[in-house]
Structure 1
Amino acid sequence: MRSKNKKGVRVEKGEVIDYEYTGPVLERALEENRVIRTTPLTGRYARIPVVVAPIRNEKGEAVAALGVVDVVGTVDLGAVFADFPRVLEQIKTGEKPKIL
């Protein structure tokens, strides 16, 4: 998160880890005054899906931007289940798992 006139904070796992943070998508959301869903190619969260929304004043002007990083979107499910061939086979065939 950052304001229009000042760099902001970066929070991970509930802890502030940077008090002078900005990023390319935060900057773009402020400039364009719109929600942006993208996977940035540069910056701290390069190649990780993000959603950034402007925070607007009563005139509708963007005064800050708040971003959320989708760390779950970066999980390679194929790699996670590589050691579980039966699960992969069920996914491929659409077979419903048997409940014991």
Structure 2
Amino acid sequence: MYELNSRKLAKLPPYYRVAVVSGDKAEISKFAENLRSDKNNYEITGPVEIDNSQSKILIRVELQEAQVLVDLMDDITKVQGVKSKRIFNVRLDPFDL
């Protein structure tokens, strides 16, 4: 029970949907900026530097808006497939952040 309460306070699954998106620093910064200007209720943490060339962001949404986040991650995957280029690495509801 304690762990579930901690996860709720930290805005983690199963109470929130969380996506961790990592990639090139400049691309992640641009993506985070675009998400922040979006009208959806994304809660963005980061970008956080992983190394000299990579960074990541955490995107959280409440459960009732989960489908919007899932659709966004699906769109990213489709665009990368069309371009035959991996721009971002996406993890949805990862066990560890």
Check whether TM > 0.5: no
Q: Whose radius of gyration is greater, 1 or 2?
A: 1
| TM-score computed with the length of structure 2 as normaliser | 0.28
**Between structures 1 and 2, the one with greater helix share:** 2
| TM-score computed with the length of structure 1 as normaliser | 0.27
